[in-house]
Amino acid sequence: MSAITLTAGLIQREIVPHDPAGNLFSTLETMQRLVEQEVDLICLSELWLTGMINPTDAESSNVVSTIDGPTVDALRDFCRTAGIYLSAGTIALKEKDGLKNSALIIDPSGEIALKYDKVHLFAPMGEDRVYEPGDSLEAVDINGVGVGVIVCYDLRFPSMSRTLARAGVEVILVPAMWPDARIYPWETLLRARAMENQVYVVGINGLCNQNGVYIPGHSMFVGPHGDALNQPEMRESVIVRKLDISKLRKLRSEICYLDEEVEISDVNWHAKVNESGG
């Protein structure tokens, strides 16, 4: 029996804030080079098209997209022509009920196979004043491999990844705009989510300097043992890795604790510090 693999390529490129046309053109060029490397799946970062959306900046509101607009159409056309899957990072999408920070996966026929709206919005950077949160998790089958998506701040909430893994997801994609000031937690959490859920994790971080916040790249492929499969870099880069799904499934068949967790929600206190600190 031949090994089951999924070859993924991630694109870490400089994001020019408020320049969707320029970012789209540059990204499509890079994507074409990845197609020549015969990858199954191309992965982009969070908000790769526009950079961060500022609720007090009028210019920000002029760069958002729609699900049936020209940007998404261009990505769908690319996938259809190249015959490839694309995890289009996230795009700020204007919908009837407000703006969503939406992750899209587009299949080789150009159809939108998955749309995930970011659930956990990062209030210190004003996301809760810009976007409406999502309320569900999404997964898709890519060439027989279960693939799910969470976005940036979602990474800090272990139940998100555990729920995906229990549902059969084997690869979790994490498009992000994770700042340099907290890059150690980024790497640590990517490793932890992979190890504790016996999955591959692909963290695709942005690369830009916007509003005094430096987003440094540091994108990573992480194996199911929490092992880094590449050396993270803080410059424009394209990284390709072949994920051995057969090896992952063998690991799960030998020792799998995903379904053995006992969920306990209550804590029985036997001695408790009083309010006075005594």
- CATH number, domain with residue 62: 3.60.110.10
Tens digit of each residue's pLDDT (9 = 90 or more) over 29-69: 999 999 999 999 999 999 999 999 876 666 666 789 999 99
Mean pLDDT of 229-243: 97
Residue 27 belongs to what domain range? 5-254
159: in domain: yes
In sequence order, what are the residues at sequence separation of 6 or more whose Cβ sits closer than 8 angstroms to the Cβ of residue 37? 9, 240
pLDDT at 59: 67
Strands (E) located in 13-131: 41-43, 85-95, 98-106, 112-117
151: nearest Cα among 105, 195, 111, 108: 105
- pTM equals 0.95
Q: Which of 43, 127, 138, 152 is catalytic?
A: 152
Q: Is residue 92 part of a domain?
A: yes
Q: Is 240 inside any structural domain?
A: yes
Over residues 83-97, the mean pLDDT reads: 96
46 noted as active-site residue: yes
Is 187 marked active-site? Answer: no
Residue 230 lies in a domain: yes
Q: Between these two residues, 264 and 62, which has the higher pLDDT value? A: 264
What element of type H or E holds 215?
Answer: strand 213-216
Domains identified in the chain, total number: 1
Q: Is residue 98 part of a domain?
A: yes
- Active-site annotation holder among 43, 46, 79, 208: 46
Residue 259 lies in a domain: no
Looking at the domain assignment, is residue 278 inside a domain? no
Average pLDDT of the residues of the chain? 94
Task: Give the model confidence (pLDDT) of 124-173 as tens digits.
Answer: 988 999 999 999 999 999 999 999 999 999 999 999 999 999 999 999 99
Q: How far apart are CA 55 and CA 92, in angstroms?
A: 12
Is residue 262 one of the residues assigned to a domain? no
Of 43, 79, 100, 118, which residue is the catalytic one? 118
pLDDT for 54: 79
Rounded to 5 degrees, what angle do the CA atoms 259, 261, 265 make?
Answer: 135
